Amino acid sequence: MATTTARRGIILGLVLGLALAFGWSPRCATASPSPGAPELELWAGSSGVARLVGPRSSARFLLTERLPDGAMADRTDEAVWSVADPSIAAVNAWGRVTPVADGSTEVTARWGGVERRATVEVVGVASPGTHSHPRDVPVSFRLEVIPTLSQANCNMGACHGTPTGKGGFRLSLRGYLPAEDHVVLTREAGMRRVNPFAPETSLILTKPLGDVPHDGGVRLQRDGLAHRLLSRWIAQGMPDDPEAVKPVALRITPGERTLHAPNVAQRLAVEAVFPDGTIRDVTDLCYFDVSRPDLAEVSADGQARFRNRGEAAVIAHYLDLVAIARLTHLVEVPGFTPTPVPNDSLVDRAVFAKLNRMRIPPSPEAEDHVFVRRLALDLLGRLPTPEEVAEFENDPRPDRHARLVDRFVERPEFADFWGLKLADVLRANSRLLQPKGARALARWLRDRVAADTPMNQVAAELVTASGSTFANPAANYYRVSRDVEAAVETTAQLWLGVRIQCAKCHNHPFERWTQDDYYGFAAFFARIGRKPGGLGGDEVIFAQDGGEVIQPRTGRVMPPKALGGPVLADGGDQPSDRRARLAAWLTREDNPFFARMMVNRVWYHVMGRGIVEPVDDFRDSNPPVNDQLLDDLEASFIQSHFSLKHLVRTIASSRTYRLSAEATELNAGDDLYFSKAVRKLLPAEVLLDAISTLTDSPTVFPNQPPGTRAVQLAEEGLDDPFLKTFGKPARELACECERESDSNLSQALQLIGGETVHAKLRDDAGRMARLAESDLSAEAIVEQLYRIALSRPPSDYELATATRHLVEAQDRRAAVEDLGWVLINSKEFLFRH
């Protein structure tokens, strides 16, 4: 046996040697290039062989150069493409292959003196010498016409896909109801939209071609693929094909790629995967979006091109499927030096590695007083005292930053402030819950923060809450969300970061969520009952025995199904209350949404901007700016048993948190990657409390105990004009977006001449009056006010100017009030920085 095997090995070696001598080479490869020649890789579809089935099929080849440093460069458009047997297939200038006749041949890509070859197999087309034509093969309404209309944007929300249509012509949004679209196209408008006897006179061709007036402008190119498909479908009698097998997945290649300057473009190939495993190129039938249109663009034929450095997601859509390509464009930055990546902090490790990759240097660390002020505002919602700043500045210990963070997260003000943040998005609204219910919910949330109750437990208690809304404050979750739809949308956005509202009426046009997903999730909330409680407007929440959700389009009773997760049906050993099943899934460690959502929300509140923005809008087409950062924080949060305090400590103890807000020459344009601190107007409550602290004139709120700070208010605003002007939310939306943070003219008027600031400065019992009547020198008064307001002493210029104003003023009290007014209106006071 051994001799036979050896003999066969020798024979095989001779055969291979003769084959190579006559020029044969393995598929997708050639003989090794000579030294110095480019290293090329030819992609010929997921299977490695371009298989074309039918006369209208196509395939995409991508040619990539692997550079000596490991980087990849797309050479598809630069290569010279040829086909060995033009009677079998044809290839265009950017590697798109189309069939001519059944058979097998090879396509060659030549660039930089190197060739790469790949096999092409054609089936389902006439043999050479016959005269089959693509017109003979029926155009699929479901798989070709609908995508064509989407590609031309005819059925988008701003055009005929709007619920009321345009010009009397209404299509389903992005073709999610093909049967109805077929009726609209072929039966309405007296057959003027489609004319099988003279296809070129059909309105669905003449209008988007611009042959007749069209408010939507030119949408088709004459003799382009979309025009040809629509024309042939009409000529074939406009058949529908409801039996057409839809693909189950969409793939895009490359899924991730970094382009190094001067390379700015990347060809993309999109494939649909069908239930039987068949793979078809559908690049020509996709429509594309890009997450950062300011940064990059993508052509209709799938070429992404960058205008500036940065990252962008290219989203390919085919029917209801989506595929995402994550592309990055890097340029060499003169003067850039990589920053050493720390290993003692998961935050710094991820952030600094990403900054180095993007060629963005971080700002230096902020001064001590800036750090203490920022930390107190972010964690406690108040200004630090001068004593706290001085103690930190005089602390020689190397871990003093972490020590201060540890002290702050255990302060009662931390629970007040972070309880307020939760009360905002959980809508502790006295109009909806009665004042007693709003106060009860706000206190409950504050107590949970103070006790560091695991956040997954908090979520579970809210989602499963029953009983009196006064006795069990968590039950107010369902007093706010009074119907099934409100509970669905609140729960998805609040705990999962999924904005699923679109799927209520139609499949989501840009994401994976369908009406079945929406109403399957809704089934968890179908059995929530409500009845009047005791006196005072109480309400009782309870689980009913029955109640189902009907999918409005199909009429099907929907079983309870987790978003992107399993069906959690009734029966067996499952809890009878469907909400308990939902909570168990929602708060599991392996839930794909909950921990990431919470991490991003907390990062947003500490750092001023989310890793994902908007903070509660997680979707494939809105990727994180730093995947590693989000992944590592998620893992740490789960390992800590969902501890909010641990998560805040992790973020605020990092060097990243301590960076200055002052931009450098090389990071001035970065607003994404956390190379510098975010400057942000103080929240309404924090700003009002800060003004009260500076003036030592507490705000008196109606029906509240003396000394209540604005951040301690349980209700939504108590009609305070200052808080309303500065964006305190009405707590009507489960969204961080309800709290306004942009400055406006009304705010400027409040600060310059508003009654709140004026009254506090003029308060006879306030700080300004006491300082004016004291024996303190002008210099001491200036020093004290600066340290309270800005957490620092005045500069020499500020001290001299302010002192001169106090000394020369005829009315010392008015002069002190002037100085307080100037400090309140300074950007350094008004902004977190």
List, for residues 362-400, the tens digit of each pLDDT value.
999 999 999 999 999 999 999 999 999 999 999 999 999
- In this predicted structure, the answer to whether residue 82 has a pLDDT above a threshold of 70 is yes
494 HSE (CA, 13 A, CB side): 24
The stretch 258-280 carries a mean pLDDT of 95
Mean model confidence pLDDT for the chain: 91
Please give the model's pTM, rounded to 2 decimal places. 0.88
Dihedral sign of CA atoms 133, 137, 140, 141 in order: positive
If one compares 600 and 509, the residue with the highest pLDDT of the two is 600
Looking at residue 127, its pLDDT comes to 57
Write down the residue that tokens 């196509």 correspond to: 58
If one compares 432 and 585, the residue with the highest pLDDT of the two is 585
Helices (H), 707-833: 721-725, 745-753, 755-761, 767-773, 778-790, 796-808, 812-824, 827-830
- In this predicted structure, the answer to whether residue 814 has a pLDDT above a threshold of 90 is yes
- Listing DSSP states for 96-161 in one string gives EEEESSSEEEEEEEEETTEEEEEEEEEESSPPTTS---GGGSPPPIIIIIHHHHHHTTTTSTTTTT
Amino acid identity of residue 479, one-letter, is R
If one compares 718 and 12, the residue with the highest pLDDT of the two is 718
Separation between Cα atoms, residue 271 and residue 593, nearest integer Å: 27
Q: Within 10 Å of residue 69's Cβ, how many Cβ atoms?
A: 6
Separation between Cα atoms, residue 636 and residue 646, nearest integer Å: 9
Q: Does residue 474 contact residue 549 with C-beta atoms inside 8 Å?
A: no
Amino acid identity of residue 1, one-letter, is M
* Residue % of the chain over a pLDDT of 70: 93
The stretch 54-78 carries a mean pLDDT of 93
Name every residue whose Cβ is closer than 8 Å to that of residue 421 and which is 6 or more positions away in sequence: 605
If one compares 103 and 741, the residue with the highest pLDDT of the two is 103
Looking at residue 123, its pLDDT comes to 93
The stretch 517-543 carries a mean pLDDT of 93
When pLDDT is cut at 50, 70 and 90, the band that residue 504 belongs to is confident
96, β-bridge pairs: 60
Highest mean pLDDT among 155-164, 574-583, 643-652: 643-652
Domains along the chain? 27-123 (2.60.40.1080), 139-235 (no CATH), 249-330 (2.60.40.1080), 454-588 (no CATH), 681-832 (no CATH)
Looking at residue 136, its pLDDT comes to 64
When pLDDT is cut at 50, 70 and 90, the band that residue 190 belongs to is low
The stretch 15-25 carries a mean pLDDT of 31
Name every residue whose Cβ is closer than 8 Å to that of residue 303 and which is 6 or more positions away in sequence: 77, 94, 265, 266, 267, 268
Going by the DSSP 8-state scheme, the letter that residue 427 receives in this structure is T
If one compares 560 and 158, the residue with the highest pLDDT of the two is 560
pLDDT digits (tens, 9 = 90+) for 126-172: 755 444 444 468 999 999 999 999 998 888 878 888 888 888 888 88
- In this predicted structure, the answer to whether residue 17 has a pLDDT above a threshold of 50 is no
Separation between Cα atoms, residue 679 and residue 668, nearest integer Å: 13
Element (H, E) at 355: helix 346-357
pLDDT digits (tens, 9 = 90+) for 280-318: 999 999 999 999 999 999 999 999 999 999 999 999 999
* Residue % of the chain over a pLDDT of 90: 76
Separation between Cα atoms, residue 76 and residue 111, nearest integer Å: 9
Going by the DSSP 8-state scheme, the letter that residue 199 receives in this structure is G
When pLDDT is cut at 50, 70 and 90, the band that residue 32 belongs to is very low
Looking at residue 717, its pLDDT comes to 64
Q: For residue 144, is it left (φ>0), alpha (ψ between -120 and 50) or beta?
A: alpha
When pLDDT is cut at 50, 70 and 90, the band that residue 408 belongs to is very high
Long-range contacts of 736-745 (CB under 8 A, 24+ apart): 736/424, 736/425, 736/601, 736/604, 736/614, 736/615, 736/616, 737/614, 738/424, 739/424, 739/683, 739/684, 741/680, 741/681, 741/683, 742/681, 743/681
Looking at residue 25, its pLDDT comes to 33
- In this predicted structure, the answer to whether residue 805 has a pLDDT above a threshold of 70 is yes
Could you tell me the two tokens for 132? 């089959």
If one compares 696 and 165, the residue with the highest pLDDT of the two is 696
Lowest mean pLDDT among 65-69, 85-89, 651-655, 798-802: 65-69
Looking at residue 544, its pLDDT comes to 93
When pLDDT is cut at 50, 70 and 90, the band that residue 509 belongs to is low
Looking at residue 718, its pLDDT comes to 64
- In this predicted structure, the answer to whether residue 1 has a pLDDT above a threshold of 50 is no
Buried-exposed string 76-109: b where 16+ CB fall within 10 A, e elsewhere = beebebebeeeebbebeebbbbbbbbbbebbbbb
